């Protein structure tokens, strides 16, 4: 099976592992119950030709605190039109209505979802023309996390890789800018080509359904920055050939990008992922009580050691024979 035809890890397991063994594999890898969407949502997904999956993250019942159940929807979408289509005509489809049918409270779009993911190419134009100053939607009583390429007109048109968080009342709560930029081989999203490292820190957005923080793309490799991970999926064909971090010669065919959408829990479990090659909506029902049940922190110790680590005379505490 070639990389281009690889749909997902879960699909390979379902195809080649016998059912009895597959149940145990699923328990070990995921351990989550499936969430059955309403038939209307299933029919809409079939009609619009995208994957629809649902899973449940449960917490242990507590005597004094009721479950704090929230439904989160992750949307992944491919580019609808060819990349040489004029910028003004391009727009990515959305599946928010189906998410609403499934009772989703917080919906999250993929990184820079309104445009081709062009950031690994050497082509600055026309992709930076997608930069916008904001985004707002108020239809389904859902919190919306909408990643965009932001143009900061107040500060000389500076570009940022940004996620805008919109409350279920339709108000913009704020934004979080990407903190860490990959510079791996010839995969360079650095300021010389696209956008700057973020300057908004790590804001937390209080919503009706819980607190939300955003960690964009490469930030997932940095433990102190890791609060929520998003995966992108897109299949693009760029008008001009490009090089990227795959080590290949300059080429046009972008292929399938870095994986697919899934949800991770604080107990180190995760949901199965969506397909790497298709549009999809992943709905997860989460009991937020799981956070307090499994997470601990020695923040005073971390703070002191980090303070020491940034001093010019810092010496690592390495014990040798």
Q: Which domains does the chain have, with CATH numbers?
A: 1-26 (no CATH), 31-309 (3.60.110.10)
Instruction: Catalytic residue, from 108, 150, 178, 189: name it.
Output: 178
- The candidate with the shortest Cα–Cα distance to 254, out of 124, 159, 119, 129, is 119
Largest distance between two CA atoms of the chain: 66
Instruction: Catalytic residue, from 111, 150, 230, 285: name it.
Output: 111
pLDDT at residue number 213: 85
Phi, psi of 284, deg, nearest 5: -125, 135
| Residue 108 annotated among the catalytic residues of the structure | no
Mind listing the pLDDT tens digit for each residue in 224-249? Answer: 765 443 333 233 444 455 445 455 66
* The model scores a pTM over 0.75: yes
pLDDT at residue number 227: 42
Please list, in sequence order, all residues whose beta carbon lies within 8 angstroms of the beta carbon of residue 102, skipping any fewer than 6 positions away.
37, 38, 41, 52, 54, 71, 73, 281, 283
pLDDT at residue number 161: 82
| First and final C-alpha spacing in the chain | 48
What is the C-alpha to C-alpha distance for residues 321 and 319, in angstroms, rounded to an integer? Answer: 7
Burial class of residue 254 (count of CB atoms within 10 Å of its CB; 0-12, 13-18, 19+): buried
Which residues of the chain have a pLDDT value below 50?
Answer: 1, 132-137, 227-239, 242-243, 245
Paired strand residues for 210: 207
| Residue 92 annotated among the catalytic residues of the structure | no
Instruction: Catalytic residue, from 175, 217, 230, 285: name it.
Output: 217
161, 197, 216 from 186: Cα distances, Å: 19, 18, 20
| Residue 307 annotated among the catalytic residues of the structure | no
Residues 260, 124, 94, CA angle at the centre, nearest 5°? 35
């Amino acid at each position: 099976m070639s990389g281009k035809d690889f749909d997902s890890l879960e699909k390979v397991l379902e195809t080649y592992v016998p059912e009895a063994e597959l149940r145990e594999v699923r328990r070990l890898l995921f351990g989550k119950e499936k969430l059955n969407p309403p038939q209307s949502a299933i029919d809409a997904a079939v009609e619009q030709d995208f994957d629809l999956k649902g899973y449940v993250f449960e917490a242990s019942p507590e005597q004094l605190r009721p479950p704090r159940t929230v439904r989160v929807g992750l949307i992944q979408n491919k580019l609808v039109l060819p990349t040489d289509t004029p910028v003004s005509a391009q727009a990515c489809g959305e599946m928010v209505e189906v998410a609403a049918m499934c009772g989703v409270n917080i919906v999250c779009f993929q990184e820079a979802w309104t445009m081709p993911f062009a950031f690994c190419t050497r082509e600055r134009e026309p992709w930076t023309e997608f930069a916008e100053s904001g985004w707002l939607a108020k239809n389904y009583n859902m919190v919306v996390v909408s990643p965009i390429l932001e143009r900061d007109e107040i500060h000389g048109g500076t570009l940022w890789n940004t996620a805008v968080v919109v409350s279920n009342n339709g108000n913009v709560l704020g934004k979080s800018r990407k903190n860490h930029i990959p510079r791996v081989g010839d995969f360079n999203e650095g300021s010389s080509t696209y956008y700057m490292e973020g300057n908004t820190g790590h804001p937390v957005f209080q919503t009706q359904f819980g607190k939300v923080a955003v960690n964009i793309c490469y930030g997932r490799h940095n433990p102190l920055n890791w609060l929520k991970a998003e995966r992108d999926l897109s299949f693009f064909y760029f008008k001009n050939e490009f090089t990227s971090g795959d080590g290949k010669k300059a080429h046009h065919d972008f292929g399938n990008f870095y994986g697919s959408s899934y949800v991770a829990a604080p107990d180190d479990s995760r949901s199965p992922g969506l397909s790497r090659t298709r549009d999809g909506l992943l709905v997860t029902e989460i009991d937020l009580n799981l956070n307090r049940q499994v997470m601990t922190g020695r923040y005073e110790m971390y703070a002191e050691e980090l303070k020491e680590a940034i001093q010019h005379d810092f010496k690592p505490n390495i014990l040798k024979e």
